[in-house]
Amino acid sequence: MHALLLIIGLCLCLLFSCVLYARDVSPIVLSKTFNGVMESPAYWVSEKYDGIRCYWDGQALYTRNGHLIHAPKWFIEGLPTQPLDGELWAGRGGYQTVSKIVLDHTPDDRQWRKIQYQVFDLPQSKAPFEQRQRTLQTLVKKTNLPHVNWVKQTRIQSLSAINAALDDVVSLGGEGLILRPQNSLYEIGRSQTMLKLKVRQDSEARVVAYQAGRGKYENMMGAVWVELTNGKMFKIGSGFSDQERKDPPPIGSEITFSHEGFTEKGLPRFATYERLKVQE
């Protein structure tokens, strides 16, 4: 009995230390949603890439949760020893493609040729944003790697111009924008120094039940009932392909859905299924 308890204790310690390691591996800034209020005289604006957030620690690539990304040797050769913050990207609308490729523990060399590393910050620099970008642009240029790109930043001084930039990106199939206040420092964790702006917001929920389909969806799933973290439940019936209706997200799984804000009752408005939540 004592031996069993000792084994369980050791396993728990190992699990806990792995969690701590994952948290410590990727000390990056995480975005908050832009509330439409210009709290900085100007923002540096760039496209929000729909990919896998990627932290380079000088030796290897990690997801934002600290999990090792098994990239081919050629992909990381030539990257600087200085840590980088960016996104692994496979083009607009390519989230499913990039997640399948970069989260595979056995890298497919041919598939990795589709991936770009869009680099947008220096996480260990104490310099203000503008100086960090000048340094970063020089670093990326020196790598001379075709799959590594510096993310262009545009200084915008009005809300109307920001909204116009959002419309331009969305019209091209982009997801949205990232706003960085001028002269801002790099802050680890959720921070007002990195704001996201999208036409539709993404949220997550847990699948709790199915609703049968009717008409053309007879004998298929018509909608899923889901539960938010606050306990509120609602159903999502749009965004599913015919194949996903035949083989819907499993009960108990977590999904990502998009919506346009919330109703007065606190339920997502115009919720649309996007995908199964990927464990990065």
Q: Do 58 and 103 share a structural domain?
A: yes
The CATH number that applies at residue 248 is 2.40.50.140
Q: Which of 198, 214, 248 is the last residue of a domain?
A: 198
Asked if residue 107 lies in contact with residue 71, where contact means CB atoms within 8 angstroms, the answer is yes
Q: Does residue 109 sit in the same domain as residue 242?
A: no
The reply to whether 34 falls in a domain is yes
Which residue matches tokens 């990326």? Answer: 140
Give every residue of the chain whose pLDDT is below 50, as ranges.
Answer: 1-25
126 noted as active-site residue: no
**Which of the listed residues 198, 229, 254 is the one where a domain comes to its end?**
198
Cα–Cα distance, 86 to 137 (Å, whole number): 13
Asked whether residue 224 falls in the same domain as residue 89, the answer is: no
Which token pair is 217? 């969806």
Q: DSSP character for 216? A: G
Q: Is 190 exposed, middle or buried (0-12, 13-18, 19+ CB in 10 A)?
A: exposed
pTM: 0.69
In a domain, 127, yes or no: yes
16-57: per-residue pLDDT in tens? 334 333 444 478 999 998 888 889 999 999 999 989 999 999
> Based on the structure, what is the number of domains in the chain?
2
Q: Are residues 78 and 152 in the same domain?
A: yes
Q: Where are the beta strands (DSSP E) in the chain?
A: 29-33, 43-48, 52-56, 61-62, 68-69, 84-89, 116-121, 148-150, 154-156, 176-181, 189-198, 201-212, 221-227, 233-236, 254-259, 272-276
pLDDT at 138: 97
Residue among 32, 48, 142, 196 flagged as catalytic:
48
Which residue range is the domain that position 194 belongs to?
29-198
Residue 5 confidence (pLDDT): 42
The reply to whether 10 falls in a domain is: no
Residues 171 and 205 placed together within one structural domain of the fold: no
